[in-house]
Amino acid sequence: MTQRVKFYQTGTWTVGNRLLDAEKRTVQATTERRNALTSGHRACQGCGEALGARYAVDAALAAANGKVIAVNATGCLEVFSTPYPESSWQLPWLHSLFGNAPAVAAGVAAALKAKGRTGVRVIAQGGDGGTVDIGFGTLSGMFDRNDDVLYICYDNEAYMNTGVQRSSRTPAGARTATTPAVGPHPGNPPGQGKNPALIAVAHEIPYVATASVSDLHDLEDKVKKAMSISGARYIHIHVPCPLGWGARSCDTIKLARLAVQSGLFPLWEAQDGEITKVTPIRRPVPVSEYLKLQKRFRHVLKDEAMVAAIQDIAERNIRRFGLLGQGEE
């Protein structure tokens, strides 16, 4: 899919759009980008979720000629984008509740079908808590019925909007407000949590992908591909949260990339129940590189066994998804 480019800038693998064929350039780099989530919203500086949402929704709009309706779960994205009487959204947007975005979107899609408004597409979006915990029943229902909705989860690995409490996406060892690192307790206990993207694959829906704000090309490609398919689709985007993770605002992209390169957040794609593509790790890094930039893991770094356990999780992902292999198409 992505064009192979061997020109590396300053260790980031970003490449100037000038070097790409016009059709390979990102939506974000074009003058027609819609800025679906426009400036002036109240997200923290360096918010990965704000970035991820703009990337994803702009790409969806580009793929659907601007004819997109968005449904949003309660969470940071909803709160920071629509403080009454302002709204950052440049597309029709509806927020209903914390745990019902998939069902609301299914209703929107049904209405469009009933009304014969065939050109209009529906996306739904929410944080990890809204998607993977409280909204998981409605998400599974939407997958089950194969409703014509693209659901995008912005995973910042905790309930950020309510002050950084644990979610089922909070990684092993991470300190949150409800998994404090107190005495012998290691923050979030290892051996818990769930993988919604794999669960989505188990529903055998037409399209599932994971993506990262550190890889714009890949993220946009996946959104565009998802928009070219009908039925239930799911994209899970890793979005660092400087506030919740205790990281520097300027490290958002770096952290997202380290999560991918360490093997902690594998990038892959699946169609109709089969994993079809894996993005290989180009330059593997030990998990400690990722952990050490985040205060939520500060206590972990003092605990060799815990670091080793987290490294094991990364290694398992690398083995399981074949992240060191070729992986392309």
49 binds ligand SF4 (CB under 6 A): yes
Amino acid letter, 88: S
Tokens of 315: 């290694």
Site for ligand SF4 in 65-104 (CB under 6 A): 76, 80
Quote the least distance from Cβ 128 to ligand TPP, whole Å.
4
Q: Which single residue is written with the structure tokens 């949402």?
A: 53
By CB under 5 A, residue 127 contacts Mg ion: yes
Q: Is 111 in the site for other proteins (CB under 8 A)?
A: yes
Judged by CB under 6 A, the residue of 99, 129, 244, 263 near ligand SF4 is 244
Between residue 66 and residue 105, which ones bind ligand TPP under the rule CB under 6 A?
74-77, 98-99
Place of tokens 């927020």: 95
Q: In this complex, which beta carbon is closest to other proteins, that of residue 117 or of residue 320? A: 117
Count of residues that bind ligand TPP according to CB under 6 A? 18
Shortest distance in whole angstroms from residue 50 CB to ligand TPP: 10
The distance from CA 104 to its chain's CA centroid, rounded to whole angstroms, is: 20
When asked if residue 49 is in the footprint of Mg ion (CB under 5 A), the reply is no
Query: Which of 41, 100, 105 is CA-nearest to residue 76?
Result: 41
DSSP state of 173: T
- Residue in 268, 271, 260, 278 with CA at minimum distance from that of residue 314: 260
Residues 125-184 that bind ligand TPP (CB under 6 A): 126-130, 156, 159-162, 167
133 sits near other proteins (criterion: CB under 8 A): no
Q: Which residues pair with 85 in a beta bridge?
A: none
Nearer CB in complex with ligand TPP: 77/306: 77
Q: Beta strands of 114-263 (E only): which ranges?
A: 121-127, 150-155, 207-212, 233-238
Q: How far apart are CA 1 and CA 309, in angstroms?
A: 34
170: contact with Mg ion by CB under 5 A? no
Question: Which amino acid is present at 114?
Answer: A
146 contacts other proteins (rule: CB under 8 A): no
Range 18-47, binding ligand SF4 (CB under 6 A): 43-44, 47
Residue 11: phi and psi, rounded to 5, are 70, 10
From CA 165, how far away is CA 177, in angstroms rounded? Answer: 5
Residues that bind Mg ion (CB under 5 A): 127-128, 156, 160
